Amino acid sequence: MAFLEVKGLEAFYGHTQALHGLDFELEEGGITTILGANGAGKTTTLRSICGMVRNNGSITFDGNSLIGKATENIVRLGIAHVPEGRGTFVRITTEENLRLGAYTIKGAKNIADAMDRVYNYFPRLKERRNQQAGTLSGGEQQMLAVGRALMLRPRLMLLDEPSFGLAPLIVKELFEILRSINNDEKVSMLLVEQNATLALNLADHAYLLETGRVVMSGTSEDISSDEAVRQSYLGY
Amino acid sequence: MTKLRKIAIATTTAATFFAGTAMAGNAPGVTDTEIMIGNTTAYSGPASVYGTIAKSISACWDWVNETGGINGRKIKWVSLDDAYSPPKTKEQIRKLVEREKVAFTFQTLGTPTNSAVHKYMNKKKVPHLFVATGATKWGQPKTFPWTMGWQPNYQTVGAIFGNYILQNYPNGKVAVMYQNDDYGKDYVIGMKRAMGDKYAMQVVKEETYEVTDPTIDSQIVSLKNSGADVFVNISIPKFAAQAIKKMYAIGWKPAHLLNDVAASISSTYKPAGIEKAKGIISVDFYKDPNDPEWKDDPDTNAWRAWMDKYYPGGDKANKMNAYGYAVCHTMMAVLKNAGDDLSRENIMKQAASLHEVAIPMLLPGMYADTSPTDFYPLEQMQMTRFDGTRSVRFGPLISAETE
Amino acid sequence: MEYFLQQTLSGLANGAIYACVALAVVMIYQAIDHFNFAQGEMAMFSTFIAWQMMQWGMPFWLVFPVCVVISFAGGVVIERVIFGPIHNAPVLSHVIVFIALFSIFNSLAGFIWEFTIKPFPSPFPEKDVLGTNLIAMHELGMIGITLVMLVMIYLFFRFTPIGLAMRAAAANPVSARLVGISVKWMLSLGWGLAAAIGAVAGMLIAPMVYLEPNMMLGILLYGFAGAVVGGLTSPGGAVAGGFLVGVAENLAGAYVIGSELKLTFALVLIVGVLLLRPAGLFGRVVVNRV
Amino acid sequence: MVADVNTSSAGRRAIPENPANNLAIAGIRLPVWNKILIAILLVVAVIAPFFLEDFDVFQMTYALVFAMAILGLNLLTGFNGQFSLGHSAFFGIGAYTTAMMMAHWEVAFYWTIIPAGIVCLVAGFLFGLPALRLEGLYLALATFALATAMPQILKYHAWEDLTGGVQGLDLDKPESPFPDTLSDDQYLYFIVLVVAIILFICAWNLVRGRTGRAMIAIRDNPIAAQTMGVNNAVYKSLTFGVSALYTGIAGSMSAIIIQFVAPDSFTFLLAVTFLVGLVVGGVASIPGAIFGGFFVLLIPNISEAVADMTGRTDAKGLSWAVYGLFLIITVYVMPSGAAGLVRLLVGKLARRG
């Protein structure tokens, strides 16, 4: 059984169905990306995994069914979600944000270690550790979001459009860090991106969504070389 | 004055208009076995402390009914909550008169609330009896022949205080604190009436408070600062107790004239601290059951026995339960006198012809007395001085006939 | 001069009342991002419970902690039982439930304990402070307890993981869930804490104003005023705001407007502060760059 | 949808802008149903008073008055997202305007309604100006303070001669010009009904038009509204004014019906009553206001009757506990108010036609 296995996933907002029977898998240690246009259901997929939308079907993570579980309990299994819009706690400091990320971690030493690791990846956050998080720049807040997720010592990280609204240079830096996190920490990643080029570069597997259904899947190389994908998503 | 005349004209035209529909025979709500009486009061809201009066009246009717009723008729008591909100009173009173079809209303509570139905009751010619407020306006037989008060009115008490000051502190400097509403202002009017020009000369400071004020400490401090040696305190028990405590705390010791509303050992003096209340001068017209003065008083003992049996949930230390009992007896006297003619006209007529009727729980020597031109049933009061254990009455019964 | 001093000190004493309530208001605001209009009534009800226990003969120093614990539990239970099923309802529906709680507590207290005022004992001796009659021992003690409470709350929110989690859950429930915080429990905890602080406030206020079901009606406005003046984001500010309102109200009453317009003064103060310093005098402006 | 714990989302409920127009019950399309229902309602409203006792007519009249006030609050809170706990103040100002004109200058009551509205429009606009800078909770607080201070302002001694001070003002009830066919209560009822219909139609047009779209845009996304060229400041303070105008006219009518105004009639509890009516009827629902009006008038009476059923005198005061329970149950059953419930039921019943 795959590390994360999603079968027949349907999701609803009120009476509106957003996902129509989604199937996909993710291998431990891998990076998988979900591509698609606006409204294809990418964000909804991530939210479904975390129990944030009403859904049907089956989601298993490392042998545990996630369906019907409360978000906070799903998180406790080691799934860290870097949400759309970064989800910064704006009223408190950077460091307090990170501390919150370690909410499920016991032991002062473990937390301190995790904090060191995060500061190692993101020295900028260390500089701004006592600053009110709302005053950080967009890029810094995105780093904070990833850092906060990392504090959880996750086994799977869900990333929702981390590049959104950031300058190209910062995006480049961020994605390099993501790759090293994946390498060093053995964190599996499920990445949702509009910027397909970027995503396919980072990921080893990719799924293509259209209106709540998987229309194509394969390795990143296969997908990148597909003519149709190239035209509609990669733009060359 | 013009306003009064206007009202007069309005009521006369109304009277002619309704003349044709005036009812013969018994009032609605009266059958061979029952008299239905309506009431509104504040079971909730800012004045809910008075709700117990209507509850004790209800208990009084239970007792009346158990002992055979009045002239063979039992009393049905329909009492509704108006939360002390005038529009709600209007709605509830109309419900009582038009839906429940009560014979009359009795002891409806509050000045603003009763004001909202004053005209309505007179237009409908429904007896609006013994309202539970001491405003002066309930005694105007010419313009409002269907409305009658009961307790000595606030202006009278104010006048008694005014006279007392003139006699005992002709050169005193007076500080006044009153509740910022019709009740408080009526006392001041009474004082001004009694003192005339001397009011402006002697009163060095006036302060007001709102029922919603958390404390009145600031007012007391500023009254003390005025250098007054006489303090006229027109407040409800909560604030009277606060005042007594604060005065003691800051060492202000004027002659303290406290209005009858708060002259209660259990509601005011005890919470404030008995020793701090020593020397307070007040006036009263009925017995404070908590006062050792009435420990062995047969009248009060009868009341206690009645409380035990018919209103066991009620607080025997609460003076208002004695008030309810006394006013209920006044009503009983009216209904007894009315005999079998329970038309609204006759009920009103009987209410207006009480001749020195003895009422339990009033101070010794007092009685209820009305006439077609005198719609103030209780007009006597007596001054008291709290000696640390009991309120000692002094001086004669003061009868302040209201003009 | 003595007059000024006395008015100021009596303002401080009143201010202590407002500060207590303001603190409770800010607490629940921090915990649930709402104002709870039933807060005053809950505090009043807790105080009656304490009063009842003393009537049964329990000593004050036993009653005090027991009442705080009972109130805490009561707050948690109310959140779980009453708000649990409607977590997803619109905010205004929650406000209606606050109003419902308000009526229920007020009405129940009147039913059980009647509306006559009850003296409530003060834990402090009735003595002059430093041989002057400027401020009563209880008032001083009350100011002290309020400050102690403030420090404890500050430490709790600042340095304990639970405190931090509570703030996070209130400010951003979605993100809070994503770091594994059970927002539901944080809400319940917030209610519990606010109820407990309310109980302390009630027990401190009652000796000054006398216990009765409508005790908190008028105080709540001033408590809100204190919270607004100090800043809703800052417990310390709320306490300072409470004292400020108390003193300002007394001095304005004594020297400027007289006692007839005190509530109006509170209105002007609230609107004025909000206009000049929307975050309150001590509050932090929340910035979020996007 | 995850619970949004933020006051500014007050009642984020779009007006039924309608895919529902294509739905049908029993073969009749919803817009047609709407018209039928409105027609029936109007007919009932016109005929009912002739079959009811005067007291019932009086109650219906007062429920309509509440409905108008609630509608006013709804324009502000429901459609514009501004929270007010202070509408009792505008209700009071409207009532006092009418009362003062009638008592001092002997103006006939019908000439006082529009001035009462205008005075409140101005008062609301002026209060709305500073309120512009206040968001959600802060606005709630400022308006709460307004409601609490209003009785004190009304009885302030400086204008005692005008307002009657603590005593309030007594009014003469307008008498029916056709005493043989219409009782006084019926006469007043029809006047209130006509005023209410006018106000409801105006509100309907307002929220459906350009202005309404701007109001709703400001509620849902003030920044976006601004970038779309909506002048938020003007719209927000104008909405405040119009809302106060509605509530003030309701207050004016209440003064005429009760024939008496006093400071104690316009306490904070009245503002709470409006808010309850608003939420129970349905946030941002115009017909919901009517339901709300009847609810806040009748439920306290029902609660009292329930408390009375215990047969205990001392249970009298429990009626407000019963009322509280009613409110909680109502929120459980209809978390989006009566309007929300109706929408839900209609949605279940309806099929695409």
Residue C117: which of B46, B213, B237 has the nearest Cβ?
B237
In chain D, where the domains are located: 19-352
* Residue-wise pLDDT tens digits, D258-299: 989 999 889 888 999 999 999 999 888 888 899 999 999 999
Total domains, chain A: 2
Residues A97 and A213 in one domain: no
Residues A48 and A133 in one domain: no
- Of A153, A185, A208, which residue sits at a domain end? A153
Q: Does residue B401 form part of some domain?
A: no
Domains, chain C, in order of start with CATH, read 2-122+132-276 (1.10.3470)
| Residue with the two structure tokens 């005694």 | B139
B214 within 8 A of B238, measured Cβ to Cβ: no
Residues A121 and A234 in one domain: no
Residues A214 and A202 in one domain: yes
pLDDT at A234 over 80: no
* Residue-wise pLDDT tens digits, B269-312: 999 999 999 999 999 999 999 888 898 999 999 999 999 999 98
Q: What is the pLDDT of residue A225?
A: 84
Q: What are phi and psi of B266, to 5 degrees?
A: -75, -35
Q: What is the pLDDT of residue B12?
A: 42
Chain D residue with minimal CA distance to A70? D2
Closest CA to C174 of C183, C162, C186: C183
pLDDT at D20 over 70: no
- Of A153, A177, A194, which residue sits at a domain end? A153
Residue C107: which of D153, D276, D318 has the nearest Cβ?
D318
Closest CA to D353 of D21, D15, D34, D16: D21
Residues A235 and A191 in one domain: yes
Number of residues assigned to chain D: 353
Q: Do A89 and C286 touch (CB under 8 A)?
A: no
Q: Does residue B106 form part of some domain?
A: yes
Residues B125 and B6 in one domain: yes
Q: What is the pLDDT of residue A221?
A: 86
| CATH of region D19-352 | 1.10.3470
As a three-state string, the secondary structure of chain B is CHHHHHHHHHHHHHHHHHHCCCCCCCCCCECCCEEEEEEEECCCCCCHHHHHHHHHHHHHHHHHHHCCCECCEEEEEEEEECCCCHHHHHHHHHHHHHHHCCCEEECCECHHHHHHHHHHHHHHCCCEECCECCCHHHCCCCCCCCECCCCCCHHHHHHHHHHHHHHHCCCCCEEEEEECCHHHHHHHHHHHHHHCHHHHHHEEEEEEECCCCCCCHHHHHHHHHCCCCEEEEECCHHHHHHHHHHHHHCCCCCEEEECHHHCCHHHHHHHHCHHHHCCCEEEECECCCCCHHHCCCHHHHHHHHHHHHHCCCCCCCCHHHHHHHHHHHHHHHHHHHHCCCCCHHHHHHHHCCCCCEECCCECCCCEECCECCECCCCCEEEEEEECCCCEEEEEEEEECCCC
Q: Does residue B97 form part of some domain?
A: yes
Chain B hits for C22, CB-CB cut-off 8 Å, are: none
How far apart CA B261 and CA B24 sit, in angstroms, is 41
Averaged over A204-225, what is the pLDDT? 87
Q: Do D2 and A52 touch (CB under 8 A)?
A: yes
- Give the whole-number percent of chain C exceeding pLDDT 90: 21
Residue C179: which of A70, A100, A132 has the nearest Cβ?
A100
Mean pLDDT estimate for chain B: 88
Q: Does residue A233 form part of some domain?
A: yes
Averaged over A157-162, what is the pLDDT? 92
Q: Do C104 and D325 touch (CB under 8 A)?
A: yes
Q: Which range (C62-71, C233-242, D82-91, D193-202) has the least confidence?
A: C233-242
Averaged over A160-177, what is the pLDDT? 90
Residues B145 and B163 in one domain: no
Q: How confident is the model at residue D91 (pLDDT cuts 50, 70, 90)?
A: very high
Q: How confident is the model at residue D7 (pLDDT cuts 50, 70, 90)?
A: very low
Q: What is the pLDDT of residue C128?
A: 65
Q: Does residue B163 form part of some domain?
A: yes
Chains that touch B (3 or more CB pairs under 8 A): C, D
Q: Do C274 and D134 touch (CB under 8 A)?
A: yes
Q: How confident is the model at residue B6 (pLDDT cuts 50, 70, 90)?
A: very low
How far apart CA D202 and CA D196 sit, in angstroms, is 10
Q: Does residue A136 form part of some domain?
A: yes
Averaged over D44-62, what is the pLDDT? 89
Quote the domain boundaries for residue B168.
Answer: 154-284
Q: Does residue A56 form part of some domain?
A: yes
Q: Does residue B68 form part of some domain?
A: yes
Quote the domain boundaries for residue A231.
Answer: 1-78+155-236
- Of B255, B284, B313, which residue sits at a domain end? B284
Total domains, chain B: 2
Averaged over A103-107, what is the pLDDT? 87
* Residue-wise pLDDT tens digits, C89-127: 788 888 899 999 999 999 999 988 888 889 998 888 877
pLDDT at B16 over 70: no
Q: Are strands A54-61 and A64-65 parallel, antiparallel or unpaired?
A: antiparallel
Q: Do B116 and D314 touch (CB under 8 A)?
A: no
Closest CA to B149 of B330, B399, B12: B330
Chains that touch A (3 or more CB pairs under 8 A): C, D
Q: What is the pLDDT of residue C191?
A: 87
Q: Does residue A83 form part of some domain?
A: no
CATH of the domain at B71: 3.40.50.2300
Q: Does residue A53 form part of some domain?
A: yes
User: How near does any CA of chain C get to the CA of A130, in Å?
Assistant: 13
Averaged over D106-119, what is the pLDDT? 89
Residues B254 and B315 in one domain: no
Q: What is the pLDDT of residue A179?
A: 92
Residues B103 and B115 in one domain: yes
ipTM over 0.90: no
Burial of B299 (0-12, 13-18, 19+ CB in 10 A): middle
Q: Is C38 helix (H, G, I), strand (E, B) or coil?
A: coil
Q: How confident is the model at residue B400 (pLDDT cuts 50, 70, 90)?
A: low
Q: Does residue B389 form part of some domain?
A: no
Residue C175: which of A87, A132, A165 has the nearest Cβ?
A87
- Give the whole-number percent of chain A exceeding pLDDT 90: 36
pTM: 0.87
Q: How confident is the model at residue B14 (pLDDT cuts 50, 70, 90)?
A: very low
Q: What is the pLDDT of residue B276?
A: 92
Q: What is the pLDDT of residue B254?
A: 94
Q: What is the pLDDT of residue D3?
A: 35
Q: What is the pLDDT of residue D352?
A: 58
Tally C-beta pairs within 8 A across A and C. 85
Please name every residue paired with D292 in a beta bridge, in sequence order, or none if there are none.
none
Residues B357 and B330 in one domain: yes
Residues B73 and B172 in one domain: no
pLDDT at C283 over 80: no
